[in-house]
Amino acid sequence: METNVDPRISALAAEIAESPEKNVPLLLLRLKEIVTDPSLSGKQLQKLKQDVYYYDLVQYCILVLKQDFSRIQGSWATAGHLADLLSNCCVNFEPVEETEEYYNKVLPLAVENLLLLVRRLQARRTRAVKNEEKAEFIHTFRIVAASLCWLCDEFIQLTYQVLKSEHFLQLLLTDDVETGVIVMSVLQNLIRVNGKVFGELEETTEFAILDELVFKLSSTNNPVTGSTATRVLLLIVSKHPTLVTQICSRYKGLQHLLKKQWTGKGFNNDLEQLLELLYSGSFHHSEMQRLHQAASLIQAAWKAFQTRKRLKKLPNAVTTIQRSFRNKKEKERLILERQKEEEELRHHLLLQRQRAIRRFHQRQLELFQIIPAELLNRHIQDQEMKAALLIQRHWRGHRERRNFHQQKQALKQYKAAVTLQRAVLRFLKKRRNAKQILSPWKGPPGLTDARRLELKKKVEEHIGLHRSPVFSAESSNELHLKAQEMLIQHWVDINLQRKADLRRDALLAQINTDLEFLTNAPSLKEATTKDIDIFTSRSVPVAARARQSHNAMLQYMRWPWWKKLGDEFLDPENIPEDNLEAEIDSLYLGGDG
């Protein structure tokens, strides 16, 4: 052991050795303050990392990552901090002694435990019910994934171990969008760091990764998942051009699927590059097929020429019908072929995915035989709780959707009834108004026919006893009819006057509102689009008439004094269009006009 060891490291190592197992993770977090001290120089930091390694604190961090952090203070966030601390202690560090053990045992074990921790976080997030728990798990998931990428950036030989690990393949086989995108980003970073690593994998591992990438492109419409999978696939193809031919032969119809489903989703540059590489590989793969097609095309062209030569004397309509019919049949054939290729591709990817999941479940059954019964019962209880929550969630969603559809139908009927009632009431109101305006004069209410005859008889008797020397009976009847007409006209004028009064009051209220808007209007520098919309009329005829009046007033103010003599009223329609120079978009007149 070297001398001049940092006393903080030795004291922490002694405290960890004497502490119980559940307190070790929290004690190890104290290393972060020591390692990230900004006052340390490069040589001092190297010496500090040497002390941490020789006191086996790095090995402690690696072993602690396998624990169940749900029972530890800080829960799984503590695991994320430990993963970041482990990568910080290993990066930019090379032991003076035992170098072979460090590269062949310590670093591979660190990578394996980090992958195991990432899988646990993914499973925990899938079982989480609350959104806050899901957000916390995805944050920790990103931290651990970043730590793994940091280690692989420093030690590129670890990329091969990550890609061939079963944990990484199971992480990639997920339906969760966020964790799937993060895992694909890790894959992209590994291939970017070590471009040859994908070609060194076994063929089954290569095609398992490619199957999952192509399945994600074909089974989802999420642009984030599509863009990430496209970039990873483009990087793989660009680093290993020999895989292009195998991809084209294994996934027939992939080019058409990518072009149809992902064009215009925000990553067209990467998509076009990938399609170019796939089309080039498809060209080499189908060279003989294209030669056959070229020969068929030449034969078809020659036969068409001979056919057209024979059909020269037929009407042009027959040729047009035949050509359109052939084009239609050809398009239908191409569409059917493309649909068949897409269905075969989806079916093939589904089978590959099912086989991978079946292998994973078989592996789980083998592990269950090894796990103690207590842990197995706990796992079964967790799975049952998860299944119960899933069933409850689906049932509640079904019930709410059913209630919503029922309420939606009742609301639709209620709105229809209200609309019909409103229309009927409006029609009845119009009818009543028309009767009140046009109906002739009626006698006072409560006057019966017998009473009316009695009063008429008394009037005639009075007129007969007191005849006027001025007016005759004919003139009296004419005067009576005239009075009746004047009375009817009086009631009509009263109704018109009432409407005029109502219109005048509405205009006064509108003018007061306009004055209030103009008084409270902001300055031109502070005006916004919302303020402009307030002072803009939404009636096209009113805006056009206001524009004409405004232009006429501007033109009138520019005329000389001798031209204004006698012009007390200026009609805007009489102003020539050549003289109208002032233009405005619209004028505020209050309301909708």
C-alpha torsion angle, residues 253, 254, 256, 260 (rounded to 10): 130
- Any residues with CB less than 8 A from the CB of 170 and at least 6 apart, and which? 119, 360
- pTM score of the predicted model: 0.48
Within 13 Å and on the Cβ side, how many CA atoms surround 14? Answer: 6
Which pair of structure tokens corresponds to residue 346? 């989806």
Alpha-carbon distance 428 to 132, whole Å? 59
The string of pLDDT tens digits covering residues 33-85 is 777 766 666 677 777 777 777 777 777 777 777 777 777 777 788 877 777 77
- Tell me the pLDDT tens digit for each residue of 521-570: 777 777 777 777 766 666 666 667 777 888 888 887 888 777 766 544 44
Count the helix, strand and coil residues of the chain and give each as a percent rounded to the nearest 5.
80, 0, 20
Please state, for a pLDDT cut of 70, what percent of the chain lies above it. 85
In this structure, are residues 151 and 91 in contact, taking their beta carbons and an 8 Å threshold? yes
pLDDT number for residue 396: 93
| Three-state secondary structure call for residue 268 | helix
Name the burial class of residue 140, with classes exposed (0-12), middle (13-18) and buried (19+) by CB atoms within 10 angstroms of its CB: buried
Amino acid present at 41: S
What pLDDT is recorded for position 566?
Answer: 53
* Non-local CB neighbours of 108 within 8 Å, separated by 6+ positions: 158, 161
First to last CA, the chain: 93
Minimum mean pLDDT among 33-47, 344-358, 450-464: which range?
33-47
Instruction: Name the residue with higher pLDDT: 134 or 589.
Output: 134
More confident residue, 10 or 325: 325
* Among candidate residues 14, 2, 16, the one with its CA nearest the CA of residue 46: 2
**pLDDT of 584:** 38
Backbone φ and ψ for 553, nearest 5 degrees, come out as -65, -40
